[in-house]
Amino acid sequence: MREQFYQQMNQLAETLVVEAKAAAKAMSGAAEALRDANLTKAEKVIDADRKIDLLERTVDEMGVSLLARQAPVASDLRIVVSALRLSATLERMGDLARHVAYIARGRYPDVAVPGDVHKLLVTMADHAAAVGKNVAELVETRDLSLAAQIVEEDDVLDDLHAKSFQIVLDDSQELTRQEIVDIVLLGRYLERYGDHAVSVARRMNFLVKGLGNDGSDPFAEVDLTEV
């Protein structure tokens, strides 16, 4: 009975890793679509989001089954509950990458936004892709040193997000209404991707240690449910 339980736990962990890698790949593809006005890449990201949604449902079903049939306790319970919450966050990260790809596709054959702001948002997307890669590696290896890197990259994303707003508010910038909307939305999606990555880092810290980074409950944090 216990052998079956741990087989199911391993399957849960493996599925979560696949989901994390898919969310990372999605942002990497979205960044490429944004940088190069790559229609094919944008459509691949949009289509691949169905896989991430399916993986989340699979993790949910596996986790609920484990809770109902095996009644895990202590560290095993922490792993199952953490996996359920991590999966939901990773699914949102996939959604955000899809949103970026939608904008890139919608402006094809042109790049989504012009000039210097395009360079800034591409830089932001590249940082988000790096964050996604670290998230996938963290989920797979449970190497908590990666959590600190994720937080640092999120700080960079926050700074770039603020700069994008400065451009929008600069009267000397000749931007159309649609370009302003795209800049605001892209900045928002990429910044939120980083926020969700930090949430994953906190929850992985809880999974491994049982505590947040500061010894507190990591779930008593800013609301990250909004996409």
Note the pLDDT tens digit of each residue in 60-112. Answer: 999 999 888 777 777 788 888 899 999 999 999 999 999 999 999 999 999 98
- Which residues in 65-79 are b (16+ Cβ under 10 Å) and which e? ebeeebebeeeeebb
The reported pLDDT for the residue numbered 214 is 47
DSSP, collapsed to helix, strand or coil, labels residue 143 as coil
Q: Is pTM beyond 0.75 here?
A: yes
Higher pLDDT, 227 or 159: 159
- pLDDT score of 223 more than 80: no
* CATH tag, 1-212: 1.20.58.220
Rounded mean pLDDT of 6-18?
92
The reported pLDDT for the residue numbered 199 is 96
For residue 128, the 8-state DSSP code is H
Question: Between helices 2-36 and 74-107, what is the axis angle to 10°?
Answer: 20
- Which residues in 133-145 are b (16+ Cβ under 10 Å) and which e? bbbbbbbbeeeee
- Which residues in 165-196 are b (16+ Cβ under 10 Å) and which e? eebbeeeebebeeebbebbeebbbbbbbbbbb
For residue 58, the 8-state DSSP code is H
The reported pLDDT for the residue numbered 156 is 97
Rg, C-alpha atoms of the chain:
19
